[in-house]
Amino acid sequence: MPGPPRGCPNPLFTRWLQEWRDQAAERGRVRTQRAYERALSSLRKYPLPLRSGREARILQYFGERICRQLDEQLEKHRGAQDAAGGTDLQAPASSWTGQEDGLPSCKGASIADFPARWPPSCSDKPEQQLKEKRHGSRQRGRRYAPTQRSAAYAVLLALYQDSMSSHSKGYLTKLELQRAAQPLCDKSFTLVDPGNKNNAWSAVSTLIRKELVLKTNIPARYSLTEAGLALAQELAGLRAPNGQEPNFPAAEIREELLLSEEDSRDGHVPDRPGSVEPGSEPPMPQFTLQPGQFDIILCVDIIETTGGPASRKQDLVDELQRNHVPFSIRKLHVGDFLWVAREKAAPAPGEPRRCTARELVLDYVVERKRMPDLCSSIVDGRFREQKFRLRQCGISHPIYLVEDLNSAQHLSLPEKTLQQAITNTQVVDGFFVKRTRDIRESAAYLTLMTRHLAALYGDKRLVSCTKEELDQERPLQAGDGSCRLLTFPEFNQGAVKNKAQTVSEVFARQLLQISGISGDKAAAILERYKTPASLLAAYAACQTPRDQEQLLSSIKCGKLQRNLGPALSKTVAQLYCTQGPLP
């Protein structure tokens, strides 16, 4: 095998990557081979020397796994140099000139030019030696080990149990990890304790910082590092703290999964070993809340209680408390108010006590708009986008609560324009619009809605389901008196505004920018053409420009199933078919 080219600034890294690439090729591991090949190509273009694998993280295609491999190989290389009684210098001697404070000059040097103990240990100084003598033994004896049923303990065991499953994808998403870890932890991964800003999920940041958990991709995917795997095995009782490494047959598969993750960050979707076919993966476990086992709680977005005029925010809280409304303040990613059915703290006879109450989101959500808010959202374009997100969040009864109707004369938009926007929201978009005069009347409406929903759902059997299942079957089931509802974590996580979007979601946002395209109309177009590529293919199949202009005119929209119409159809066709700027 030819070695690194002459004058290569990082000959050792180049040689090791070549060796690992060739070994992967011999074993038939195509994905792994490609990951090393891409990293090697990136390294060859880098003109400066690197001192460690961690420094290589700045280069393209160098993920956490490859950088860690380089550092581990570098430690072995230095150990071999120490055993041989010297340093294998591969660069010209001139690169070692100009030393200051015992440090070699970096000019023209490669990773092999540095001594085996690089950077030099601070313990060479007498005062540091004395400090280590006093405190070093105690610090070296410390070892991170989370306590039983702590958040970190639950996360490590949940990831380990998933890695051992035959259905494992090699990672868990945030929502999947929260679900898997919750039964193993005494704190909630979604709810914040009173007087505390954090919940159990904050432990994940600690595990990432300690390099026990690896976070990749957007949306985030979580998996165990090798150190995290070893610690999780100890927590699971499968490995003694000072015992030998167990025979873990999935080690090579895990390596390929982690390397493949680096591919996926660059836009490639690898074929993951052990993954299952779509639809064959077992569904997440469901739970049911029987009548009498839950309370109806109003959830208030934290923005409604903090920021802005403090007196107005506190007025809302005071009114809800005065009306004896059970409410919970939390971060909502869509809407300002919604209701959840919260499992009662006391378990039913024969059932184990749970550390946190489970919650299901009822089929109603409220977006509150004061007139100044409505005006600004219309001006900056947020109004239409918010309505579309409310339509797509999985709740079929969105409500607009419009407040301060008498302040329209003080706004930048004419009152007639604002009233027309409110009417269109109700008539065209199909939202229920409730108008109130002030915050006290708004609190009274929320109070009545809370009591109404408590009566409406009180005798229902509430069954948890996924958003995919909810899209197939509406929540209220008249036959058996049951309701299919989303869990609060799944609802709120799915409504994150800045999450990574699918092509269809981006396509919907494009359509919403067209004047005259409402949320219902965009959804109707998406139902027939999921992506811009499918729409462009349909336009390409048209015989004449006239056919292109009329392609979408007969699409049925909204509850009344009216045609999209020739005018909007022509506008969309001009946008997607016109070469160059629009006339």
Residues carrying an active site annotation = 301, 304, 336
Sequence-separated (6 or more) residues with CB below 8 Å from residue 555: 524, 525, 528, 563, 564, 569
Q: Are 548 and 573 in contact (CB under 8 A)?
A: yes
DSSP summary character for residue 182: G
Instruction: Indicate the helix (H) or strand (E) that contains 361.
Output: strand 359-370
Instruction: Indicate the helix (H) or strand (E) that contains 555.
Output: none
State how far the Cα of 288 lies from the Cα of 573, in Å rounded to an integer. Answer: 48
Q: Which two tokens stand for residue 388?
A: 């579309």
Give the side-chain half-sphere CA count within 13 A for 484: 17
State how far the Cα of 244 lies from the Cα of 233, in Å rounded to an integer. Answer: 12
Q: How deeply is 367 buried, as exposed, middle or buried, from its count of CB atoms within 10 A (0-12, 13-18, 19+)? A: buried
Helix axes 382-392, 503-512, angle to 10 degrees: 140
Q: Which two tokens stand for residue 554?
A: 């007969």
Q: Which of 34, 40, 113, 116 is nearest to 81 (CA)?
A: 116
- Largest Cα span, the chain: 88
Q: Which of 574, 578, 525 is nearest to 554 (CA)?
A: 525
Sequence-separated (6 or more) residues with CB below 8 Å from residue 247: none
State how far the Cα of 258 lies from the Cα of 31, in Å rounded to an integer. Answer: 11
State how far the Cα of 300 lies from the Cα of 281, in Å rounded to an integer. Answer: 35
> In which region does residue 54 sit, left (phi positive, over 0), alpha (psi from -120 to 50) or beta (all else)?
alpha
State how far the Cα of 323 lies from the Cα of 213, in Å rounded to an integer. Answer: 46
Q: Which of 575, 535, 316 is nearest to 446 (CA)?
A: 316
State how far the Cα of 168 lies from the Cα of 253, in Å rounded to an integer. Answer: 11
State how far the Cα of 134 lies from the Cα of 354, in Å rounded to an integer. Answer: 46
Q: Are 555 and 563 in contact (CB under 8 A)?
A: yes
